[in-house]
A = this chain, B = another copy of it.
Amino acid sequence: MTQTLLAFDVYGTLINPNAMAEVLRPTLQDQAESVAAQWRASQLQLSFRRGLMGRYVEFSVCTRDALDVAIAAHELEVDQATRDDWMAAYSRLPAFEEVDGALASLVAAGYRCVAFSNGTEKAMQQVLEHAGLAHHFDALVSVDDIKRFKPDPVVYHHLSRRMKVAHDNAWLVSSNNWDIQGARHAGMKAAWIHRDRTALIEDPSLAPNLEVDKLDELADKLAGMR
């Protein structure tokens, strides 16, 4: 019997981008949360926009541009060396606390786990190594292979082709509502991790197949769906 594939989104799902607020705080004080939130929102907006334009760049370019956008929108003065430090901190972001144990359980239970990100393979490798998670994965699958961004459907099809699985034997696992909807639109199953309780599935026809609060509930829930 073919192993079920679990494809984990990285930023927001395994790795906590909100931790950037702590990196910004010594410089930005009480604006740190607001700048970090806009940095993340602009990073996504820029990747969607570039994807729609057909003007792909490595995701780190979107991340860098989004930092500039967030700083400009807050009308702050931040020198280049500080911006470089913050970009470097992006590859040292921590994992959410339950992730390491949850991935170990899922691998032990026989699931085949891969990381699947808008980041490059090198960026994924760095952040997952630093967070002590890299050893759980059979493969790191980046959209950079085909120069398109999630949630373009071709990216999800690339995942299943590359891992040699049928879409109905593959799950996307993500905390990102847009990633869940992208996977469902492309015909994959999807498990939504509720890290943001206020996020919506804007298109109800693309609802996830499964919802959990934390990754460590995933093994039980998946077992219950068989």
- Contact between B49 and A151, CB atoms less than 8 A apart: yes
Answer whether residue A169 sits at the interface, using C-beta atoms and an 8 A cutoff: no
Given contacts A41-B41, A45-B44, A45-B45, contact A52 B149 (CB under 8 A): yes
Answer whether residue A46 sits at the interface, using C-beta atoms and an 8 A cutoff: yes
Chain A, interface SS category: helix
- Contact between A203 and B55, CB atoms less than 8 A apart: yes
Interface stretch (choices A69-77, A103-111, A126-134, A212-220) = A69-77
Interface stretch (choices A2-10, A16-24, A83-91, A178-186) = A178-186
Contact with B along A15-49 (1 / 0, CB 8 A): 00000000000000000000000000100111011
Copies of this chain, whole number: 2
Answer whether residue A53 sits at the interface, using C-beta atoms and an 8 A cutoff: yes
Answer whether residue A222 sits at the interface, using C-beta atoms and an 8 A cutoff: no
Answer whether residue A145 sits at the interface, using C-beta atoms and an 8 A cutoff: no
Answer whether residue A152 sits at the interface, using C-beta atoms and an 8 A cutoff: yes
- Contact between B52 and A198, CB atoms less than 8 A apart: no
Q: What is A's interface to B at a CB cutoff of 8 Å?
A: 41, 44-46, 48-49, 51-55, 65, 68-69, 72-73, 75, 149, 151-153, 178, 181-182, 185, 198-200, 202-203
